[in-house]
């Protein structure tokens, strides 16, 4: 199995390549430079692996939530590459990717992932590890005011991941018992791990069916051309 993953949904730009069980990854924090960096990073990894796009089996992309522009760039680039090489695609949540990273780096079993969503909100997802080592969403991902969160009685069992904890740490005091981590952004290498069950379960789709997940849909709608 050969899969390429890319993500441009946050300040970080991330690309990873899975080749026969081995993962190569590149991660850069490059705000507002994603459209310039993502394709050279893809080419670098393909060159290192001595592969072409046409030799891949599928393409994975970070579907959001995150920056509206960043999510659109990621979906667009993924679609363009997939169309050109006739590859199926699969979208992975950026919040889930951070939760998976917490398991990879800290052996976390439960994770509270929060990305700074601007407008005094965070994108939030709560995850729990399943028996196969994959982080599963508990409930739904949401855009929410930090002060509106309900405290968890067992927050000490969770690992905190994402920029939301930095930006709104004073408001998230109710969850200060959650163990901190160095995970601020999603990484494409964790998206590859999350995508593998979907690959085996025929969860990849044609490139034209690739869809973003903005979570805050009403804001995205207002930003579309012609909308107020």
The pLDDT score that the predictor gives to residue 6 is 98
Per-residue confidence (pLDDT) for residue 157, from 0 to 100: 79
pLDDT of residue 202: 80
Measuring CA to CA, which residue among 125, 67, 81 is closest to residue 101?
125
Start and end residues for every CATH 3.30.420.40 domain found in the chain: 2-93+187-223, 95-175
Among the four given CATH numbers 3.30.420.40, 3.20.20.100, 3.40.50.1370, 3.40.50.300, the one describing domain 2-93+187-223: 3.30.420.40
- The whole-number mean pLDDT for each consecutive block of 10 residues of the chain, a chain of 228 residues, reads 97 97 96 95 98 97 96 97 97 98 95 92 95 96 86 72 88 66 94 94 92 76 40
d(CA 81, CA 36): 15
Contact by Cβ (8 Å): 82, 222? no
Predicted confidence at residue 156, as pLDDT, reads 66
Res 179: pLDDT = 75
Among residues 121, 136, 143, which one has the least CA distance to residue 215?
143
Query: 210 vs 72, 80, 81, 136, 181, CA distance in Å?
Result: 11, 11, 12, 21, 31
Which pLDDT score, from 0 to 100, does residue 228 have? 36
Which tokens belong to 205? 């789709």
Task: Read off the pTM.
Answer: 0.91
Question: Which homologous superfamily is 95-175 in?
Answer: ATPase, nucleotide binding domain (3.30.420.40)
Angle at CA of residue 201, ends 59 and 9, nearest 5°: 35
């Amino acid at each position: 199995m050969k899969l390429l993953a890319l993500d441009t949904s946050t300040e970080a730009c991330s690309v990873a390549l899975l080749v026969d069980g081995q993962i190569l990854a590149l991660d850069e924090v490059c705000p507002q430079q994603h459209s310039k960096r993502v394709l050279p990073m893809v080419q670098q990894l393909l060159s290192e692996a001595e592969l072409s796009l046409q030799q891949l089996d599928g393409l994975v992309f970070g579907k959001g939530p995150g920056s509206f522009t960043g999510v659109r760039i990621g979906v667009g680039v993924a679609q363009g590459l997939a169309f050109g090489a006739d590859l199926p695609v699969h979208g992975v949540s950026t919040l889930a990717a951070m939760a998976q990273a917490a398991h990879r780096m800290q052996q976390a079993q439960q994770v509270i992932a929060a990305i700074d969503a601007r407008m005094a909100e965070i994108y939030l997802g709560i995850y729990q590890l399943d028996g196969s080592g994959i982080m599963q969403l508990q409930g739904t991902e949401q855009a929410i005011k930090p002060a509106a969160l309900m405290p968890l009685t067992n927050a000490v069992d969770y690992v905190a991941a994402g920029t939301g904890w930095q930006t709104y740490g004073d408001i998230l005091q109710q969850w200060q018992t959650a163990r901190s981590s160095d995970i601020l952004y999603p990484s494409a290498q964790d998206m590859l791990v999350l995508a593998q069950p979907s690959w085996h379960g025929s969860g990849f789709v044609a490139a034209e069916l690739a869809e973003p997940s903005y979570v805050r849909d009403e804001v995205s709608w207002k930003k579309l051309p012609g909308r107020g």
